Amino acid sequence: MSTMGNSTNIFWQESPIGKLERQKLLNQKGCVVWITGLSGSGKSTLACSLSRELYTRGKLSYILDGDNLRHGLNKDLGFKADDRTENIRRVGEVAKLFADTGLICIASLISPYRKDRDACRAMLPDANFIEARLLEDGLHEHVRQEIQKAFTSLHVLERLKIFSPYLDLISLHSRSYIQPGFTGIDDPYEPPLNCEIEIQQKDGDCPTPGAMAGEVVSYLEEKGWDVYQQASGSNM
């Protein structure tokens, strides 16, 4: 009998078709690849590229995109610390379900707080949660600095009470992009301490989408996820 949540009479329903049966049908193993990093670091690019790479190998994946989920499952949540935590928790719970179906779930979210990512990791069996951190590249750092400057200037202008229709327009436009709680600007990003994969630029060059996906595919293959194996036979 469960003592979780708000009820004491909710029993677990066991299905006769479990993860093993589904994995057999799919000819693959379910897991979560959790992509974390600042805005503009290439999370969506990697997620899409990885999904394509896996597809060409006959492997079924699904992208849980943090931004997309804010249009649906998480549309009731904002960007304050508590809401971000709940946002990540829900994505973690859904990612767990996806891994349980046998799919390779690619979660792509800034997920700035270490404790939130670690809570998602703890939901899954060991090795089934693969954290891939994207280090921001030079371009991103440049963009970040410009955003920081604009942010500061707008604050100064507001304090000086200098407004004109032109400035209002800039302010409005910028604010739709630079809102309070923008990770990396006025909200911290806590990098992973021991993530499975870290993707960064080499010799100042950003890796191509294919190269980034290749790093993840290599990791998966190395750890026995058989993602190089082509679909074959009647099970795939």
Q: Which of the residues are catalytic?
A: 111
How many residues at the interface with a second copy, by CB under 8 A? 67
Please report which helix (H) or strand (E) contains residue 136, including its range. none
Residue 219 lies near a second copy (rule: CB under 8 A): no
Among 86, 101, 94, 102, smallest CA distance to 34 is for 94
Distance between CA atoms of 171 and 173, rounded to whole angstroms? 5
Residue 144 lies near a second copy (rule: CB under 8 A): no
Out of 32, 33, 36, 90, which residue is the one contacting a second copy (CB under 8 A)?
90
In a 13 Å sphere around the CA of 180, the CA atoms on its Cβ side amount to: 4
Residue 208 lies near a second copy (rule: CB under 8 A): no
End-to-end CA distance of the chain: 38
Residue 236 lies near a second copy (rule: CB under 8 A): yes
Residue 30 lies near a second copy (rule: CB under 8 A): no
Out of 35, 41, 68, 203, which residue is the one contacting a second copy (CB under 8 A)?
68
Residues of this chain that interact with a second copy (CB under 8 A) are 1-2, 4-13, 15-17, 21-22, 25-26, 44, 47-48, 51-52, 55, 58, 60-65, 67-68, 70-79, 83, 86, 90, 93-94, 96-98, 100-103, 108, 123, 176-177, 179, 231-236
